[in-house]
């Protein structure tokens, strides 16, 4: 419940800040002091939940649930009054006074409820603190220690990693070293450590081997007492310091190996490290942890072992071990369905062990196994007293409260979905889950949240960008089940604030919340939903699917507005409902869309942060300048409208991404988007453009002819397409953009020769060149000293200079749709580098890796193997 309360408070804080923005003052009539008082109370409660989130008592859970409801009530009340005022801007003063009075009274009621809950929370926490002072800390361990000994030692698929661990532990390095093993819960870290601990080389190498299980809650004294033999009863009366001295004396002068299993914090290491002598005799500490933030500071030279998921063959082998106690399946008729069961475990050893234990004690019939594979996640999570979920929930429970709502949001994506990070971040921000970090944008804060969740092995990284950033991510099926269960327990199921609709499907045939297609049997009408129009307020009945109707509470309290969509000149008009709290709106509409209706409706969606108009004309959409929260604006066939003359238009301080068909760089526009970081122009850049004033611009993409080059020095990524510039202009790019890391151009330069100059492109990491006319490239290693990746596309005549391979940082060369002379020159570079001792450089042709043996000859027959 505390997670839902915290998420609601963060969202409410954002709403309160939004309505008090200077841009709203001339449009809204509010009691500023009252709202600021409410805001202070909300901030206090946020801090309170952050401080006490790891020790929420049942009494606090009840109060947190009440708090979440009150925060949502406040959100609804603010939305109601704001939308009413925006809709009736020209109302008489008496009506405005009545509206303000009504709003003030409603907020007063909410403040009283919040004060009451706050008093009770403080009282409960004080009582809990008094009780805790009277109790001793008890060590609790829920983890791999509850597995049977046979489960601990059974290891499949990690033999090579085991040899690496053993080799690292037995190296001739004399100083004491710490070697971490990192991976998500249930992936086999403890099993790997146990196999290393019992390995004969380790037994022969070390005089003393000690195993400490730490876990989230631990008592150093209790752990040390467990180590000493039971007959040493005199140890019971010793203090922690005395026990530590005893251990230090016992280890001194001996070569020892200590396993610290299930470590959750650096503090755990700090609590023990004084007891471990460094005698320069090759002693080692092996740590298992789920957290990269624990592994990185402790390991030597950033070296740690990462455990990955099992492949399909090893998953099947492990399932056979657990089901049949042998390495193969004795029932041929079950092998196909059995492999499918193993595949459904997604390579997680813990899940395979749980299912294997279930299969070992069940019917060996195809019918039963087919039933099991259809319900695999339920069997994994609900079998054996929820053992699997209990293990994984430790990672969730250890999260700071500000990360929990972001993790639980992963439930909205389908199983095995490859999630675009940009989309995920947009959703997190749109839902109001992110608490701002001073000095950072919400997008930057979201990236930190994502990295933290990935470092904790709760979110899986699927793909990386060319510059080493996370591109797509996902979540393991079992962790997704944990998200579903915890979000329901926490009541963190709120009406989504993101919306995407497209007019390819009639609006009455899609759910107005999730946009999924509706069929007669699952269509439900909301009879009491309030429609906020311009002339009147009516009651209407948008359609929702059965799943959304069951999932979201209080749908009938929503207020919504209608967008009129005209499909084509010959087709009828339809309407799409949008609720007024939307933060992310994507209109997949065409040129027939009724622009005046869209313009008026958008002004009521006062929370919008992301507006994607696709091909809708936005030149008259002046409401954009009244959206202080707007962060992303997209209009592929149009442009950002000019501010209205004579009006005090808002400076869009939060606007960071602008994607438009046309960009008119007037001074009025430039000064109102001072924090723009990403600009894409798909059709035409005005002839009098000057982007140098956009001092925070980091990414620029242009599909347009350019007369000259004048870009801000802040650029890190530049993409030019069809710009028709002479190659000599490349020198201006190289010398005037000192921060450039990614350079992409496609048919952007005219001519047959490019001669780089030393001292340019000093930070360039990624270079993408597409130019069918380029024949001569006078590049050497000194011209791109920091290049990591080289992409060449549609090169018909170019032979890559051999010295490109001498760039120390170069990792790979990628060729796409290139002539064989270009391909052969790349292969020659690999061959030359291997002769020089560089085995790491890779070459890919149309996505396939090649080596120096695959030299292409003129014969088509001899090229077949490569392609």
pLDDT of residue 111: 95
144: confidence class by pLDDT, cuts 50, 70, 90: very low
Residue partners of 384: CB distance under 8 A and separation at least 6: 354, 357, 358
The structure tokens 């300048």 sit at 625
pLDDT of residue 210: 93
pLDDT of residue 855: 47
Does the residue 722 lie in any domain? yes
CB atoms within 10 A of CB 608: 24
**318 and 287, same domain (yes or no):** no
Residue 577: pLDDT over 70: no
Q: For residue 81, give the CATH number of its domain.
A: 1.20.5
Q: How far is CA 716 from the centre of its chain?
A: 22
pLDDT of residue 811: 93
On whether the CB atoms of residues 418 and 472 are closer than 8 A, the answer is yes
pTM of the model: 0.75
- For the chain, the domain total comes to 5
647: confidence class by pLDDT, cuts 50, 70, 90: low
**128 and 186, same domain (yes or no):** no
Q: Which domain holds residue 206?
A: 144-306
Pairing status of strand 717-721 against strand 610-612: unpaired
Does the residue 627 lie in any domain? no
Residue 47: pLDDT over 80: yes
**441 and 408, same domain (yes or no):** yes
**374 and 406, same domain (yes or no):** no
**Higher-scoring residue by pLDDT: 534, 30:** 30
- Residue after which a domain boundary falls, among 291, 306, 321: 306
In the beta sheet, which residues pair with residue 790? 767, 813
Does the residue 494 lie in any domain? no
Reading phi first (left if > 0) and then psi (alpha if -120 to 50, else beta), residue 747 is in left
Average pLDDT over residues 93-118: 86
On whether the CB atoms of residues 517 and 505 are closer than 8 A, the answer is yes
pLDDT of residue 92: 59
Q: Which of 248-262, 601-615, 777-791 has the lowest mean pLDDT?
A: 601-615
pLDDT digits (tens, 9 = 90+) for 369-416: 888 888 777 677 655 556 777 888 888 888 999 999 999 988 888 887
**86 and 38, same domain (yes or no):** yes
Closest listed residue to residue 6, CA positions, set 404, 438, 445: 404
**292 and 357, same domain (yes or no):** no
| Longest alpha-carbon distance in the chain | 94
Residue 629: pLDDT over 80: yes
Q: Phi, psi (5° rounding) for residue 852?
A: -70, -15
Q: For residue 252, give the CATH number of its domain.
A: 3.40.50.300
- Residue after which a domain boundary falls, among 306, 332, 361: 306
pLDDT digits (tens, 9 = 90+) for 838-857: 988 999 999 888 866 654 43
Residue 313: pLDDT over 80: yes
Pairing status of strand 742-746 against strand 725-726: unpaired
pLDDT of residue 521: 56
**Higher-scoring residue by pLDDT: 855, 676:** 676
pLDDT of residue 559: 62
**214 and 183, same domain (yes or no):** yes
Radius of gyration in angstroms for the set of CA atoms belonging to the chain, rounded to a whole number: 31
- Residue after which a domain boundary falls, among 306, 331, 351: 306
Reading phi first (left if > 0) and then psi (alpha if -120 to 50, else beta), residue 432 is in left
pLDDT digits (tens, 9 = 90+) for 540-553: 456 777 777 777 76
pLDDT of residue 626: 81
In the sheet that 573-579 helps form, which strands lie side by side, from edge to edge?
537-540, 529-532, 559-566, 573-579
Does the residue 218 lie in any domain? yes
Average pLDDT over residues 515-537: 55
Does the residue 497 lie in any domain? no
pLDDT digits (tens, 9 = 90+) for 564-574: 444 343 444 44
Question: d(Cα 615, Cα 634) in Å, to the nearest integer?
Answer: 9
**6 and 31, same domain (yes or no):** yes
pLDDT digits (tens, 9 = 90+) for 281-293: 999 999 999 999 9
Residue 739: pLDDT over 90: yes
518: confidence class by pLDDT, cuts 50, 70, 90: confident
Q: For residue 480, give the CATH number of its domain.
A: 1.10.10.10
Average pLDDT over residues 232-242: 73
On whether the CB atoms of residues 498 and 584 are closer than 8 A, the answer is yes
The structure tokens 């120390």 sit at 808
pLDDT of residue 609: 85
**837 and 853, same domain (yes or no):** yes
The share of the chain scoring above pLDDT 70, in percent, equals 80
588: confidence class by pLDDT, cuts 50, 70, 90: low
> What element of type H or E holds 203?
helix 200-205
Closest listed residue to residue 283, CA positions, set 154, 177, 408, 159: 177
**126 and 162, same domain (yes or no):** no
Does the residue 433 lie in any domain? yes
592: confidence class by pLDDT, cuts 50, 70, 90: very low
pLDDT of residue 553: 63
Average pLDDT over residues 449-469: 88
pLDDT digits (tens, 9 = 90+) for 686-699: 766 678 889 999 99
Question: d(Cα 102, Cα 721) in Å, to the nearest integer?
Answer: 56
**Higher-scoring residue by pLDDT: 467, 112:** 112
Does the residue 771 lie in any domain? yes
**230 and 278, same domain (yes or no):** yes
Average pLDDT over residues 131-158: 49
Residue 633: pLDDT over 70: yes
135: confidence class by pLDDT, cuts 50, 70, 90: very low
**272 and 322, same domain (yes or no):** no
What would the two tokens of residue 117 be?
């809950």
* DSSP result, 462-505: EEE-TTS-EEEEE--HHHHHHHHHHHHHTT-----SEEEEETTS
The structure tokens 């009651």 sit at 539
Sign of the CA dihedral running 199, 200, 205, 207: positive
Does the residue 844 lie in any domain? yes
Mean pLDDT of all residues belonging to the chain: 81
pLDDT digits (tens, 9 = 90+) for 263-281: 999 999 999 999 999 989 9
248: confidence class by pLDDT, cuts 50, 70, 90: very high
pLDDT of residue 233: 54
pLDDT of residue 150: 43
Residue 300: pLDDT over 90: no
Average pLDDT over residues 699-707: 90
Residue 483: pLDDT over 80: yes
**Higher-scoring residue by pLDDT: 614, 499:** 614
């Amino acid at each position: 419940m505390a997670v839902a309360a915290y998420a609601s408070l963060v969202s409410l804080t954002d709403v309160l800040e939004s309505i008090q923005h200077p841009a709203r003052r001339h449009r809204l009539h509010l009691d500023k002091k009252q709202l600021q008082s409410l805001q202070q109370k909300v901030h206090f409660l946020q801090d309170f939940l952050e401080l006490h989130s790891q020790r929420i008592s049942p009494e606090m859970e009840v109060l947190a649930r009440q708090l979440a409801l009150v925060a949502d009530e406040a959100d609804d009340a603010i939305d109601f009054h704001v939308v009413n005022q925006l809709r009736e801007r020209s109302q008489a003063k008496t009506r405005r006074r009545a509206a303000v009075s009504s709003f003030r009274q409603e907020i007063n009621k909410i403040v009283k409820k919040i004060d009451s809950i706050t008093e009770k929370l403080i009282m409960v926490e004080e009582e809990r603190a008094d009780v805790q002072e009277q109790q001793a800390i008890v060590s609790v361990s829920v983890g791999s220690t509850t597995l049977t000994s046979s489960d601990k030692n059974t290891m499949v698929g990690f033999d090579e990693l085991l040899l690496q661990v053993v080799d690292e532990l037995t190296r001739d390095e004399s100083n004491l070293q710490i070697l971490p093993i990192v991976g998500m819960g249930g992936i086999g870290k403890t099993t790997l450590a146990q196999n290393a601990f019992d390995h004969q080389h380790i037994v022969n190498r070390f005089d003393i081997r000690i195993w400490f299980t730490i876990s989230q809650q631990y008592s150093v004294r209790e752990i040390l007492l467990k180590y000493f033999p039971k007959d040493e009863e005199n140890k019971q009366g010793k203090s922690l310091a005395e026990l530590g001295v005893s251990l230090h004396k016992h280890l001194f002068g001996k070569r020892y190996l200590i396993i610290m299993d299930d470590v959750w914090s650096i503090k755990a290491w700090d609590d023990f490290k004084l007891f471990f002598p460094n005698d320069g005799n090759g002693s080692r500490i092996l740590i298992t942890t789920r957290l990269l933030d624990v592994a990185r500071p402790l390991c030597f030279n950033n070296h740690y072992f990462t455990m990955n998921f099992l492949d399909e063959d090893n998953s099947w082998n492990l399932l056979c071990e657990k089901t049949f106690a042998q390495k193969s399946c004795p029932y041929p008729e079950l092998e196909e369905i059995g492999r499918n069961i193993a595949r459904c475990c997604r390579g997680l050893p813990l899940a395979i062990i749980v299912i294997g234990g279930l299969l070992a004690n069940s019917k060996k019939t195809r019918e039963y196994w087919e039933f099991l594979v259809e319900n695999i996640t339920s069997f994994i999570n609900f079998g054996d007293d929820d053992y699997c979920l209990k293990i994984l929930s430790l990672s969730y429970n250890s999260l700071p409260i500000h990360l929990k709502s972001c993790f639980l949001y992963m439930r909205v994506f389908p199983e095995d979905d490859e999630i675009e990070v940009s989309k995920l971040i947009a959703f997190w921000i749109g839902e109001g889950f992110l608490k701002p970090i001073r000095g950072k944008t919400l997008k930057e804060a979201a990236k930190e949240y994502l990295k933290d969740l990935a470092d904790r092995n709760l979110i899986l990284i699927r793909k990386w960008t060319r510059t080493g950033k996370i591109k797509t991510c996902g979540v393991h099926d079992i962790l997704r089940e944990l998200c579903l269960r915890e979000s329901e327990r926490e009541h963190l199921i709120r009406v989504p604030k993101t919306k995407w609709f497209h007019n390819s499907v009639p609006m009455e045939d899609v759910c107005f919340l999730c946009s999924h297609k509706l069929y007669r049997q699952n269509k439900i009408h909301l009879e009491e939903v309030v429609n906020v129009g311009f002339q009147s307020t009516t009651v209407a009945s948008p359609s929702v699917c059965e799943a959304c109707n069951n999932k979201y509470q209080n749908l009938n309290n929503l207020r919504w507005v209608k967008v009129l969509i005209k499909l084509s000149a010959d087709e009828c008009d339809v309407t799409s409902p949008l609720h007024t709290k939307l933060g992310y709106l994507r209109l997949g509409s065409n040129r027939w869309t009724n622009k005046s209706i869209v313009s008026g409706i958008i002004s009521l969606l006062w929370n919008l942060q992301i507006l994607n108009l696709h091909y809708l004309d936005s030149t008259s959409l002046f409401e954009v300048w009244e959206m202080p929260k707007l962060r992303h604006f997209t209009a592929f066939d149009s442009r950002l409208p000019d501010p209205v003359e004579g009006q005090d238009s808002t400076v869009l301080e939060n606007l960071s991404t602008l994607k438009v068909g046309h960009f008119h760089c007037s001074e009025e526009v430039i000064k109102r988007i001072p924090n723009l970081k990403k600009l894409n122009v798909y059709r035409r850049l005005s002839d009098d453009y000057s982007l140098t004033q956009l001092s925070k611009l980091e990414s620029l993409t242009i599909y347009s002819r350019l007369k000259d080059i004048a870009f801000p020095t802040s650029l890190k990524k530049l993409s030019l397409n069809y710009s028709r510039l002479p190659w000599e202009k490349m020198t201006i790019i190289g010398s005037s953009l000192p921060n450039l890391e990614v350079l992409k151009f496609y048919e952007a330069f005219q001519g047959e020769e490019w001669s780089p100059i030393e001292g340019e492109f000093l930070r360039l990491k990624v270079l993408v060149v597409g130019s069918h006319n380029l024949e001569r490239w006078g590049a050497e290693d000194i011209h791109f000293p920091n290049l990591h990746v080289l992409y060449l596309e549609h090169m018909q005549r170019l032979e890559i200079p051999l010295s490109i391979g001498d760039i120390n940082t170069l990792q790979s060369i990628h060729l796409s749709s290139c002539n064989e002379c270009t391909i052969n020159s790349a292969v020659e570079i690999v061959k030359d580098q291997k002769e020089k001792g560089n085995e790491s450089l890779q070459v890919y042709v149309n996505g396939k890796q090649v080596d120096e043996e695959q030299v292409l000859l003129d014969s088509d027959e001899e090229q077949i193997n490569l392609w």
